[in-house]
Amino acid sequence: MKMKFFRKTLSFFIVPVMIPILILGTLSGITLNRYMRQGIDERYEDRLESHRTRIDAMMSELDWLNMNLSNNPSIQFRLKNMISKCKDGIPANTYDEINTIMDLLYGSYNANTAVESIYIYFNNAGRQFISSNNRITNLDYFFDQDWYDSYQAHIGGPEQTWSEFRQIDPYNFAGSTREIFTIYRKIFSPGKRTPEGVIVLNVRGDHVNRTLNELVGEENHLFFVTDGEGRVIFRNRQAGSERAESILAAGNAQEARIAGQGTYRVYRQESGDLGWNYCLAVPGEVAYQVPNRLTRMAAGLICLALFLSTATSYFFARKNYKSLMGIVDIFDKATHGQELPALSQRTTDVYNYILYNIVETFLQNDFLQVQLSERRYKLKAMELMALQSQINPHFLMNTLQTVYWRCISLTQGPNPATEMLENLSEILHYSLESSQELVPLKEEVNITRCYLDIQVQRYKNQFDVIWDVWAPMEAVMVPKLIIQPLIENSIYHGIRDKAGHSTIKIKIGARDGWVAITVLDNGLGMDRERLEQLKKRLEGEDTQEGVHIGLLNTHKRLELIYGGDYKIRLLSRPGRGTMIELKIRALPRDGHGGGTLSGHQPGAV
């Protein structure tokens, strides 16, 4: 018990300190880490865009030639004529013109060291084409002919640009074969859908890879370029085939895991002109080195703060625990009649002040405790006498049952007296046997019907009852015997002394979390002065007893059950009748359905 109290006291000190530290430390760490990671990602995205722009610029020769040929029909037409006339050789009068046009087309070729060669081919029967190395050349005598087969295979296809790796042997001896990367772009004349020819750009792949090594200087950064089919066409030396395949296997994920090397942060961009994808992969520990270090430092500071707060809380909890145990020890001695310790009147903290006041007031409390014991003894004696004077409910109900069957035997069947006895037994059983204060609305309505049956028999069908119930009959709980006093008030103060036939209307509805119970009658009614007196009695301003005792008791019961969360409204006019409305909170009863009851039954319910 003492250790439980100590742990509770320790928690009381620790929790208010730990919660702010954990919340503020965690939120600040997460926020700082997120913004730093976002800034790092933006810097790597900018670096990747710079690399992409550099590679695209190296491949721009193809776009330059295509733009000059497609947008300048005169150059395209003159080249076609020259190629067709040069089948048997180049005429002297066109040689200078050919050189001028070729210098215009290949103006930037010599400055681009990544380009191996460029071919321009227009469809012709002589298989003549223009080469950046040999000017106008016949395909039959040229060492590189594979590109023409690829063009013929794609001439009817929908793609305008495609690429592939090829092997060329410009010197035709062993060891001179080398691999190049070839990009094709079809040539179209304005207004035509079939290609007029093709531009072939041969790129030195090893030169591009060396350029990538220079662009990506970091040793552990991977950079590679893939074509539209996902094949790696260029890469730096760190981006080996296994590493590139691991990153490509991750799809569009922002992180990829490489076996034995950890997780990489992946950044991707797409080149719209060639359909290539550029990928930069950075080790996660390298990319987020600074935010990870700050996160670890923040976690360490949080742990240190938690340790210090725990130590401080433990010190104060132990101190308070000892003081409280001193108070408990005084209580134990007082309980067992032992001598209380003498305390100094000088108080150093709140616990010493409490101890001093406990010892000071103990003698007074001891005397009051004796008096309280005497009063409890007298109260028990009075309760015993009250119980002995009560009528046993079972005896009363058994007696009613005996009278009921005696009436049955006298008339050889049910009669009005047996009906009244049966209804009275139901009411007594409902009010005496049930210990629940709240009952389903359906039970309350049924017992009210029994009460009305008795009153109808008593007053010889002097009134009718109209029911209008549109509330869930079994789903709503109401106080027991809450409707009967309202009807009794209408009968005794409105209908009993009235000449002629009367009507009582009972309306019960549920809406917006409230249950409204309204009893209306067209009896004698009350004047304004009498109505105000009744309202004052309900408000507690007039304690005179006498009339309307059932309504007053109902008001007191509702006050005990609902506190102030209920409403009573009274309306009455002399000769017109009286209306009493109760509004109480709808208390649901789980697991039960609802029902409605409405109708008009003359002389009965």
Helical ranges in 201-288 per DSSP H: 205-215, 241-249, 284-287
In a domain, 445, yes or no: no
pLDDT at 503 (0 to 100): 93
Contacts (Cβ under 8 Å, ≥6 apart) of 513? 585, 586
Say whether both 227 and 187 belong to one domain: no
Say whether both 527 and 474 belong to one domain: yes
Res. 386 pLDDT band, cuts 50 70 90: very low
CATH number at residue 231: 3.30.450.20
Beta-carbon count within 10 A of 219 CB: 9
In a domain, 50, yes or no: no
Asked if 292 and 32 count as a contact pair (C-beta separation under 8 A), the reply is no
In a domain, 94, yes or no: yes
In a domain, 540, yes or no: yes
In a domain, 444, yes or no: no
- 137 lies in which domain range? 59-203
Res. 345 pLDDT band, cuts 50 70 90: low
Say whether both 265 and 180 belong to one domain: no
Say whether both 489 and 573 belong to one domain: yes
pLDDT above 90 covers what percent of the chain?
8
Say whether both 365 and 250 belong to one domain: no
Count of domains forming the chain: 5
pLDDT at 459 (0 to 100): 86
pLDDT at 581 (0 to 100): 93
Higher pLDDT pick, 110 / 332:
332
Statement: residue 296 has pLDDT above 70: yes
In a domain, 380, yes or no: yes
Say whether both 238 and 322 belong to one domain: no
Instruction: Compute the average pLDDT of residues 145-152.
Output: 90
Res. 365 pLDDT band, cuts 50 70 90: confident
pLDDT at 108 (0 to 100): 53
CATH number at residue 550: 3.30.565.10
Statement: residue 491 has pLDDT above 60: yes
Statement: residue 248 has pLDDT above 80: no
Ramachandran category for residue 523: left, alpha or beta (phi over 0 → left; psi -120 to 50 → alpha): beta
In residues, how long is the chain?
605
Instruction: Compute the average pLDDT of residues 571-594.
Output: 79
Last residue of a domain, one of 144, 176, 203: 203
In angstroms, the CA 57 to CA 233 distance is 16
Whether the full predicted model's pTM is greater than 0.95, yes or no, is: no
Say whether both 69 and 186 belong to one domain: yes
In angstroms, the CA 100 to CA 132 distance is 13
Give Rg (Cα) of the chain: 52
Say whether both 77 and 184 belong to one domain: yes
Say whether both 19 and 122 belong to one domain: no
Last residue of a domain, one of 203, 237, 272: 203
Instruction: Compute the average pLDDT of residues 179-197.
Output: 84
Predicted confidence (pLDDT) per residue in 34-47, tens digit: 888 788 888 888 88
Instruction: Compute the average pLDDT of residues 492-520.
Output: 90
pLDDT at 543 (0 to 100): 44
Which residue, among 563, 569, 527, 564, has the nearest Cα to 551 in the 3D structure? 569
Last residue of a domain, one of 180, 203, 226: 203
Statement: residue 381 has pLDDT above 80: no
Say whether both 183 and 307 belong to one domain: no
| SS3 label, residue 488 | helix
Say whether both 199 and 213 belong to one domain: no
Instruction: Compute the average pLDDT of residues 437-442.
Output: 88
Say whether both 32 and 94 belong to one domain: no
The answer to whether the Cα torsion of 397, 398, 403, 409 is positive or negative is positive
Res. 603 pLDDT band, cuts 50 70 90: very low
Structure tokens at 395: 């005896």
In a domain, 110, yes or no: yes
In a domain, 535, yes or no: yes
pLDDT at 208 (0 to 100): 80
